[in-house]
Structure 1
Amino acid sequence: MSGVLPPEPDRGATEEDGGDLRVLPLDDDEAARLINCLAADTARSTLTALQNDPATASELADGVGTSLQNVRHHLDNLREAGLVRVVDTRYSVKGREMKVYAPTRDSLVVCVGDSADVD
């Protein structure tokens, strides 16, 4: 699976710009939340769509081919798992505020083993 980790580590990445390396043991609650979140095809499609350009929930719903409510549900889960963040705000033609989402820039590794083994 290409694109999971960057080909070369970004030596200039800092916590502020979201360039951290997250290492999660498989038995960790955060890893479980992440795996459960990515188990859904729509969540993976939504995250993949965001790799190209930041987008609003309605743009993602159109691009992924599902309902706005379904995309919002998966975006909430992706945010809780630390995979997606809000990067901007746009306004609809009706003047409604819409969040613009983008993937986080963290590299993520889930390790099999005891959480005491990961430091």
Structure 2
Amino acid sequence: MPSAFPYRTPTDHTPCERTVVCADSDNPSDLLQTVSSQTAQQVLATLNNGPATVSDIAEAISTSIQNAKYHVNRLCKADLIEPVDTWYSEKGTEMTVYALSVKELVVQFGTSASET
């Protein structure tokens, strides 16, 4: 049965080139803890192939939708991924599409986050 909703429209999203994160004792970052999870790394690897919904991510990394959503939310809070579009299921349910917000993450240990 044809749907009135476009199922998966093309998503044009270009992440920024580089983000520098400074990790020091005065300004601790939970970013490293967020990306230390194997599941979070799998989510990032999946999104490196292109934008995807939580259900697409869960299927790609063989985990539950709830687990994928947990890691997607943490990665969003860390500004490593971001919602970029809305797709619709065949039943018309809105699904948020996520993509990488940065191509390269640089972790610098010290007191300033200057790019080199």
TM-score (norm 1): 0.74
RMSD: 1.7
In the alignment, which residue of structure 2 is the partner of 1:36?
Answer: 33
Is residue 51 from structure 1 mapped to residue 48 from structure 2 by the alignment? yes
Q: Which has the higher helix share?
A: 1
Unaligned runs of 5+ in 2: 1-13
Aligned residues: 99
Q: Give the CA deviation at 1:55.
A: 0.6
Structure 1 runs of 4+ with >3 Å offset: none
* Stretches of structure 1 lacking an aligned partner (at least 5 in a row): 1-16
What residue number does 1:60 align with? 57
Q: Percent identity?
A: 37
Relative to the length of structure 2, the TM-score reads: 0.76
1:21 to 18, 24, 28: 18
Aligned partner (choices 85, 97, 107) of residue 94 of structure 2: 97
Question: How far is the alpha carbon of 1:19 from its aligned partner?
Answer: 2.2
* Secondary structure of 1:101 counterpart: strand
